[in-house]
Every structure is written in structure tokens, then in C-alpha cells.
């Protein structure tokens, strides 16, 4: 898989995009426990555009400002590399020349690459902003990824995460960013593929593996894929179900996965994972809170205050001088591209986004 150089730059770009949108979030919240709320086409379109703002930062980026130049250059360099790797021809058996589609990692990785192309195409200040070549490459990539490997009826191979989370989230993001250029039949096919691999975001795994209840960061990731897919396609029932599934992720637990009253966060049943899974959960929730704020699906579960408490009780004690303690980063400490400062930066990004939704005294 092509490496995106300059991890800190990438983190800055992501963080700035999220913070820009968070700055516009209202302080108030409307009902939480309710039936599937009606949304008209204009409201769904507003949510789609809001999600694009969140994942690109396009509403705050000023290419003339120094802080944006390096992240934009990094994004452009990544997409330059991806354009070189695209396999030409309508009958190709893989989308990128260095990624055969016989491994689960290249399935999710392929969609992640296409999402990078779509992000550059959607981002003002990128050399690839509204590029016809990038748009054509991304659209053709989506068509062929679906034709070759990611479709309704396909059997998962390798790691479940690649199919149910990695690919589904990236595909949903592509659907949001490129919706105006995706044919309706293709959009229906992509939605059916996500629905096949994530029929219910409250669950994970597919037969013959035993289906289990999804928890923690995995639940947030699965719900995110379904929420974005449902906004793009106007599926209000699936949207409502996915939003309702978020509340379980921040309830206090006494065993297993989740937040404990002593400040611990556990994933994989017994492992302290605040620094990786916990950061993914916090980042996902902060984006979804920002996305849904002031909409008919705004989240007003009173127990949401647990997340605010977790900032001080679970995350802050484990960060020091801009780094996340390795003791709670699990297997991530063995990954070349995973650094303690990256996890801490992601946590800070999420915390600052959450701060926009609380009163000033609590935020400070």
C-alpha cells in the first residue's frame, strides 16, 4: 500500500477540518429518544454537505495560510502517487497496480485510496480540486472495486474489520463526496454492498463466524458507515437505527468493553486500550455529534455527559507532553506508522471538537 508521507501533516489536515466544522456547532440539543424523524431532501443534503466539511476541512481551509500549505501538499503528493498506480482499461482485474484484490487489506486499502482521491477532488486549495482526471479515476475505481470484490453476496476472507469497517466507512465517505457524479444504479449497488457487510451496526461478524454484539470503537465505526450511507441515500430507518446504537458505547460498564467508573477504557474484553480504540471511539463520536447537531437526529441522551467526564477521567491522565502513554496503546506500539504523538493529537482534536458542544466553563 502506498504510504502517505508526513503523518503529522495528515493529522493537522484532519484536525483542522474537524475543528472548523465544530466551531459552527450549536450549544443546544434537541430530543434523543424518539421515533425515526422525518427529514426532507434539503435536510439530508445539508447533512451530506456537513459531513464533507468534517472530513475535508474545506469550509475553513485558506491555501494562502502557512498552516494549510504542508497538509495540502502532502495530500496532493499522495494523490499524485495514486494516479500513477491506477491500472488502465475497462477489463482490469485490480484498480491499483501494486494491490491485488486477494487479501482483505487491499480491499479496505483500495477504498481508502479512492477516498483520498475523492478528498483531494473535494478540497479547495488542492491541485486536484475538481480535477476531471481525479474524478474519473475515483468513479471508475468505485465501479471496479464493486465489480471485482466488494458486492452484496460476497463472502468475507481474512480480517472481518477490512470488510465491515475499513471498506464500508471509506466507501460511504466516497458516496458522500462524489454523490452528484455517481450513477443511481451504482449508488444502489454500493449501498447494497455496505448493507451486506453491515446489515446491523449493532452487530459484527458474518456467518459462519458467530455474530456478536458490537462494542466500543467498533460500534461507533459501524454506525458511522451506516449513518453516512443512509444520509446519502435517504434511508431514514437505517439512519435512525444507527444513531440509536451510539448511546451504548459510552455507558459505564463493570466488565468487558467500555468505560469504567475509575476512568479505564477496555476493548477486547480485558485490555486497557484508551490510547487507540478509545481514541477512535472519541474521534468518531465527536464527528457524529457535530454532524447531527441541530438536526432531527441530534443526540440528547442525558448520559452523554459521561463522554465529557471521560475527557478528564480517562484521556487527560494518559497524555503527557503531546504523547499518549504506550501502556494503553495495545498492539499499535508495534506498527511502524503508529506513534504516540499521533494518537495524542487525534485525541486532542476530538476533545476540542467536543468542547464546542458544552458550556464555556466546562469547555475551559
Q: Is the pLDDT of residue 15 over 60?
A: no
Residues belonging to the active site: 268, 277, 331
pLDDT of residue 361: 73
| Phi and psi, residue 271, nearest 5° | -105, 130
What average pLDDT is seen over the chain? 90
- Tens digit of each residue's pLDDT (9 = 90 or more) over 152-206: 999 999 999 999 999 999 999 999 999 999 999 999 999 999 999 999 999 999 9
Give the start-to-end residue ranges of the domains of the chain: 1-64+235-364, 78-197
pLDDT of residue 289: 95
pLDDT of residue 14: 41
**Prediction pTM value:** 0.90
347 and 282 in contact (C-beta within 8 Å)? yes
pLDDT of residue 317: 97
Higher pLDDT, 205 or 301: 205
For the chain, the 3-state helix, strand and coil shares in percent, each to the nearest 5, are: 60, 5, 35
Q: Which fold has domain 1-64+235-364?
A: Glycosyltransferase (1.50.10)
pLDDT of residue 36: 59
Q: Is the pLDDT of residue 5 over 70?
A: no
What is the arithmetic mean of pLDDT over 70-96? Answer: 97
pLDDT of residue 164: 99
Question: pLDDT band at residue 37, thresholds of 50, 70 and 90?
Answer: low
Least confident of 117-121, 249-253, 295-299: 295-299
- Tens digit of each residue's pLDDT (9 = 90 or more) over 213-249: 999 999 999 999 999 999 999 999 999 999 999 999 9
- Tens digit of each residue's pLDDT (9 = 90 or more) over 276-296: 999 999 999 999 999 999 999
pLDDT of residue 357: 73
What is the arithmetic mean of pLDDT over 59-81? Answer: 96
pLDDT of residue 61: 94
pLDDT of residue 50: 97
Question: pLDDT band at residue 34, thresholds of 50, 70 and 90?
Answer: low
Task: Find where cell 494503553 sits.
Answer: 328
pLDDT of residue 32: 43
340-345 contacts: CB < 8 A, separation 24 or more?
340/275, 341/8, 342/7, 342/8, 342/11, 343/275, 343/276, 343/279, 344/275, 344/319, 345/8, 345/11, 345/15
Question: pLDDT band at residue 57, thresholds of 50, 70 and 90?
Answer: very high
The grid cell for 301 is: 441522551
Portion of the chain with pLDDT greater than 90, in percent: 84
Q: Is the pLDDT of residue 114 over 50?
A: yes
Query: What are the DSSP calls for 143-173, one per residue?
Result: HHHHHHT-STTPPP-S-HHIIIIIHHHHHHH
What is the arithmetic mean of pLDDT over 9-38? Answer: 40
Give CA separation, 190 vs 18, 26, 48, 230, 285, in Å: 26, 33, 16, 12, 24
Task: Name the residue among 242, 100, 94 with its Cα closest to residue 168.
Answer: 242
Amino acid at each position: 500500500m502506498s504510504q502517505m508521507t508526513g503523518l503529522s501533516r495528515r493529522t493537522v489536515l484532519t484536525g483542522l477540518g474537524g475543528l472548523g466544522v465544530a466551531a459552527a456547532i450549536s450549544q443546544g440539543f434537541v430530543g434523543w429518544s424518539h421515533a425515526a424523524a422525518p427529514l426532507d431532501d434539503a435536510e439530508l443534503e445539508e447533512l451530506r454537505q456537513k459531513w464533507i466539511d468534517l472530513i475535508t476541512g474545506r469550509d475553513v481551509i485558506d491555501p494562502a495560510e502557512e498552516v494549510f500549505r504542508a497538509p495540502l501538499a502532502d495530500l496532493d503528493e499522495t494523490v499524485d502517487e495514486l494516479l500513477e498506480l491506477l491500472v488502465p482499461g475497462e477489463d482490469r482485474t485490480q484498480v491499483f497496480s501494486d494491490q491485488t484484490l486477494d487479501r482483505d487489506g487491499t480491499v479496505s486499502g483500495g477504498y481508502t485510496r479512492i477516498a483520498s482521491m475523492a478528498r483531494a477532488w473535494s478540497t479547495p486549495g488542492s491541485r486536484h480540486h475538481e480535477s476531471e482526471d481525479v474524478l474519473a479515476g475515483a468513479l471508475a475505481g468505485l465501479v471496479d472495486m464493486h465489480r471485482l470484490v466488494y458486492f452484496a453476496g460476497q463472502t468475507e476472507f481474512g480480517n472481518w474489520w477490512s470488510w465491515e469497517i475499513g471498506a464500508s466507512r471509506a466507501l460511504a465517505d466516497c458516496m458522500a463526496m462524489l454523490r452528484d457524479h455517481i450513477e443511481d444504479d451504482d449508488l444502489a449497488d454500493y449501498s447494497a454492498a455496505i448493507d451486506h457487510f453491515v446489515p446491523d451496526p449493532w452487530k459484527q461478524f458474518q456467518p459462519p463466524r458467530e455474530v456478536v454484539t458490537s462494542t466500543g470503537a467498533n460500534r461507533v465505526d459501524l454506525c458511522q458507515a451506516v449513518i453516512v450511507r443512509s444520509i446519502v441515500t435517504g434511508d431514514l430507518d437505517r439512519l435512525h437505527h444507527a444513531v440509536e446504537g451510539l448511546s451504548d458505547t459510552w455507558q459505564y460498564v463493570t466488565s468487558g468493553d467500555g468505560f469504567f467508573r475509575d476512568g479505564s477504557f477496555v476493548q477486547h474484553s480485558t485490555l486497557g486500550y484508551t490510547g487507540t480504540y478509545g481514541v477512535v471511539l472519541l474521534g468518531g463520536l465527536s464527528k457524529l455529534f457535530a454532524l447531527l447537531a441541530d438536526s432531527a437526529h441530534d443526540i440528547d441522551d442525558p448520559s452523554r455527559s459521561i463522554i465529557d467526564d471521560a475527557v478528564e477521567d480517562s484521556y487527560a491522565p494518559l497524555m503527557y507532553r503531546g504523547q499518549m502513554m504506550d501502556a494503553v496503546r495495545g498492539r499499535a506500539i508495534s506498527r511502524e506508522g503508529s506513534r504516540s504523538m499521533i494518537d495524542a493529537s487525534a485525541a486532542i482534536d476530538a476533545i476540542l471538537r467536543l468542547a464546542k458542544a458544552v458550556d464555556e466553563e466546562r469547555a475551559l
